[in-house]
Amino acid sequence: MEPITDVPGPAFATLTKERFSREGWIFERKLDGMRVISSRSGTSVRLRSRNDLDAAGSFPEVAEALEALDLPDFVVDGEVVAFDGAQTSFALLQRRMHVSNPAKARRSGVEVFYYVFDLLHLDGHSTRGLPLGERKALLRELLDWQDPLRYTDHRDKEGENFFREACEKGWEGVIAKRASAPYRSGRTRDWLKFKCEQGQEFVVGGWTDPQGARTGFGALLLGYYDDTGALRYAGKVGTGFDATLLTSITEQLLARATPRTPYDARTLPKGQAWRRSTHWVKPELVAQIAFSEWTPDGQLRHPRFHGLRTDKDARQVVREIPS
């Protein structure tokens, strides 16, 4: 038995090149949203992001739905998403993620849903040591699945077919989970990511001047931390921004401007002309980026901006290499 205040850090999936159907594994849709671990103790509900920030102000309807349940204390893990048609949209969710005032969040006009996929604590007892299959069975029977609360369905077989179906439907991909595994915080191979499109978080280390009629900035400079703790340059992204984003991100860039590059200088492009149009920032902003592939020299090909993340610390951003 452990107190409800002992809320664990989230478990994370490891990117893999494998696509498989194996006995003892389940397969869930990979959702493009914000990871949230929710806990209820008595009448008090807490929503925490993966870097332990309060998310209740951003998603008050989720907190209220959990408060309204006539149930013993619990801790659950899931993903808050917004939909653009049939697709989960991280860009649309931005309108809620960066808002901490509940009334303003409701006025955004963006409807959100909480897809719950794991049960970590129930009625004074940790459930993390139970096999995933048992935790999901308990979870399905526990909550009242009325919007915005939704149970995350899964398949017990045909992982490869499910992955192909996911990609055909334009989903992010599939998460494969070992059904016998306990819940382990951190990144393990008990959970694996099958991704339809490459994409991950990158640290913003600077920007370039806008060209033509564009205002604010031309492109964001991106990077990730290597094994030595150095920030490596990974390229720049100049697509995926509308006028509102250009304005709001420019304000955040200017507030973090610094005269010195945060990157390992050996990883930066050569030439003075490039540097004359470049401005540096403290490496604090984290951007979600989709791209087609990595080039042989470690740069992103065809990157597209999806949004800024507030739920991941910049120092945690590394290059994801499929195993």
- pLDDT tens, 88-104? 998 899 889 889 999 99
Average pLDDT over residues 213-219: 90
- Number of structural domains found in the chain: 2
H/E stretch holding 41 reads strand 34-41
Any idea what the CATH number is for the domain that residue 298 is in?
Answer: 2.40.50.140
- pLDDT higher than threshold 50 for residue 2: no
Q: Are 257 and 271 in contact (CB under 8 A)?
A: no
Which residue is catalytic, options 17, 30, 104, 169? 30
Domain closes at, from 156, 171, 195: 195
Q: Is the same domain home to 127 and 221?
A: no
- What is the average per-residue pLDDT within 137-143? 96
Residue 206 lies in a domain: yes
Quote the CA–CA distance of 247 and 245 in Å, as a whole number.
5
30 is catalytic: yes
pLDDT value at residue 4:
52
Task: Answer yes or no: is pLDDT of 5 > 80.
Answer: no
pLDDT of residue 1: 33
**One domain for residues 294 and 305:** yes
Q: Which secondary structure element, helix H or strand E, spans residue 107, and what is its range?
A: helix 102-107
Look at residue 51 in the predicted model and tell me its pLDDT. 87
pLDDT value at residue 310: 87
Token output for 19:
């696509």
Residue with token string 């009334």: 103
CATH number at residue 129: 3.30.470.30
* Position 190 in a domain: yes
Domain extent at residue 239: 198-316
Q: Is residue 168 part of a domain?
A: yes
- Residue 193 scores a pLDDT above 90: yes
- pLDDT value at position 272? 67
Q: How do beta strands 11-15 and 186-195 pair?
A: parallel
Say if residue 92 is in the same domain as residue 57. Answer: yes
